[in-house]
Structure 1
């Protein structure tokens, strides 16, 4: 496992623990029932995606899930409950004890905090009799969807909200990127129930969590005209609503917690788009 000490990271960067779950005992970390524990705060998008994959794979009995408060409870922006794991995993560790964490009960140390690695290792190493969330023939396409969601939806929406209408043409550039990404997802879902075909995969986890963020967090900083354009993707938002009523998707979705986490660190200006909500996420069963 590689660990980047906090002293070598930029001030804004999270600590990186990048261990992986291997195929067998020779790898050191390998999939064993009850050996590992996931620590997540589903109010954050990365943790919500991990909790969703955990539920889709039915891992409650083999890989315990520890749910943390929706906002960090330590002065440095981390979680007090995770501090012992971080200190055991890196000598003289002095950064925030952030979530998510995949920890190893045999050693009392952290395996990884890296969201993409956790998602892939859950899908590939802990699948058991669960669905194949990362089919080999679709792995490159899944990575492309994940990149589209992060760069062209999340980052573009955040950038557009930061710039605001007063920034003129600069404001419209990230909006163009955002609308093009949503158009691409709309075409994918116009004639199929899931992003890659007839069943849910890791690509659906990326898309659905991104749509939750867009409709609950980013809309607060977009103007009404932009949110009207965002809403004008009927297949995409019908898909989001349809998945929201599935127990595996709804189980860890708490919109109030998402908003509390957002408001705890966001100082951006509220825009007219805040009044436009596309999906009734509260209709999801618990």
Structure 2
């Protein structure tokens, strides 16, 4: 899949506080041992939702247990009080928020990583449970291109298009970028079940989470006409429905939690697009 990343805007993502990796053997320090690691996630957060879906696809329940965190962080700075001991054990007097997601090491009582995509890749590469290949050989550049498309062409463009009080021309340009991205995906998916291979990969996880966010978060700040144009990509939204019905996807969809987290963190005004739901996510979720 050929992707051109929009260049008009560069999203600034906060750097992960910890970025250790799980290696291949004991020489790496952190190496793959069933039961050694634990995930701490909130599935109302897009990073946590991606990891939760990948974790289920890979069948890692018994290998790497999960602790689910509240949808809305309970600390003023945006962190979770339950994670504070891990952060302070990993960095003395750690000054930042104790944010999720976290991959922790039960042997040392410290954090391995807070970088969602590194965590996903290490779970897929280091634990062989006979599950699907989320990062098939030769697909690295395609998956990275889809990540950029989701961050810039969908998430970033939707945020800019719905900016309250923003410059009208910039908002219109952002909406055009968003619609161009969705149109390209709609055409690409025609006749395909999955995005880049014949089975689900990390690219599908990335795109599904971006589409969930687009319909459950970003549309609240767009006008009704914009949301109707976004909805006018039937192949793409049929793909989203199929994945939502997949047991590894819809089961993690905490719609109420996403809504509460959004309203707790967002200070923008709702627009007419709030009333135009694109998918009935709950109806399609596998439970």
Q: TM-score range by the shorter chain?
A: over 0.9
Cα distance in 2 for partners of 1:242, 1:112 equals 31
Structure 2 partner of 1:143: 144
Deviation, structure 1 residue 190 = 0.8
* Structure 1 residues 31-84: Cα deviation after superposition (integer angstroms, max 9, x where no partner): 110000000000000100000000000110110011001110123221111011
Structure 1 partner of 2:100: 99
Structure 1 partner of 2:127: 126
Q: What's the TM-score once normalised by structure 1's chain length?
A: 0.93
Cα distance in 1 for partners of 2:220, 2:263 equals 10
Cα distance in 2 for partners of 1:127, 1:228 equals 43
Indicate whether 1:198 and 2:189 are aligned: no
Deviation, structure 1 residue 277 = 0.8
Structure 1 partner of 2:55: 54
* Structure 1 residues 251-274: Cα deviation after superposition (integer angstroms, max 9, x where no partner): 211111101000001011111111
2:277 alignment partner, SS class:
coil
Which runs of no fewer than 5 residues in structure 1 stay unpaired? 1-11
Deviation, structure 1 residue 140 = 0.6
Structure 1 partner of 2:239: 239
1:136 alignment partner, SS class:
coil
Structure 1 range deviating more: 167-176 or 202-211: 167-176
CA RMSD of aligned residues (A): 1.4
Deviation, structure 1 residue 163 = 4.6
* Structure 1 residues 238-262: Cα deviation after superposition (integer angstroms, max 9, x where no partner): 0101111111101211111101000
Which runs of no fewer than 5 residues in structure 2 stay unpaired? 1-12
Structure 2 partner of 1:6: none
Indicate whether 1:181 and 2:160 are aligned: no
Indicate whether 1:218 and 2:209 are aligned: no
Structure 2 partner of 1:5: none
Cα distance in 1 for partners of 2:270, 2:78 equals 24
Is contact 1:102-1:110 (8 Å) kept? yes
Structure 2 partner of 1:7: none
Is contact 2:243-2:249 (8 Å) kept? yes
Structure 1 partner of 2:160: 159
Deviation, structure 1 residue 228 = 1.1
Cα distance in 2 for partners of 1:127, 1:182 equals 34
Question: Residues 78-93 of structure 1 correspond to what in structure 2 (within 5 A)?
Answer: 78-93=79-94
